[in-house]
Structure 1
Amino acid sequence: MPIKKTPIKNRIGGVFVPVRDIERAREWYNQILGLEGGEISFGHIYSAPMDGTAGLILDTMPKWRNEDGNVSTYQAPSIQFLTNDIYASYQFLKENNVELLTGIEDDFYFVFKDPDGNLLMICKEIS
């Protein structure tokens, strides 16, 4: 089957993470990822200054909340942050009282929660 021409780029522009408190989330992600700068826009979006092809966007998602005012969180790790030292990264999160859900698995990755309950993953970068 021939590939059809599409106006959509095969590049991810950003990954949205649902959060409840944009200020608290910005502070936590900045601390954990060693980030500085970045602005909160429209009162509910923080675009984290990331390296790489996709940006990390924290959003309180006011349009997507249910009738109780809640927004769903990631219940499976869907974002992978990279590290050159999986053991130092694990220890760093432990020392910063981050909720770790797994130990280091297969000498390659581990899963943790952000303050909003989103499941995230750290993986060893493969060169």
Structure 2
Amino acid sequence: MHSTIAYVSLLPLALFVAMHGASTDEESEELGASTDVDYEELDANCTCPAPALTSTRNNKHYPLGCIYNCSSYNCTIPDGTPCYVLTLGEVKEHLQIGSTVPNCTCGLCRNGTCVSNGTVEECFAVEEIEET
């Protein structure tokens, strides 16, 4: 009887852990990873790729902003990393209309903020952009 109670009590926990791990892996696979982020400099908990868009100018991936969520952790991209001054919400709005984002403001990460360098270019999503 006691083993049945233990099994029934632990089943929801096991299901939660299994589902939580699976969704994180699936979401991570959907992201376009930035090629310019030095992931070795990130916190050990920041193992997910940053949500990124691809430049039509040079076909490189740049992160959206300089802070992103990875498995409930806020991850800050290193200073000096090229980025786009865009939010995930803004990108999703544009991608509902077409396949590109016409006004991607370029910048560099500084203390967790993507600071504009005054350049604007067209960018696009290679894969579905989701937050992890």
Task: Give the structure with the higher percent helix.
Answer: 2
The normalised TM-score by structure 1 is 0.24
Greater strand share, structure number: 2
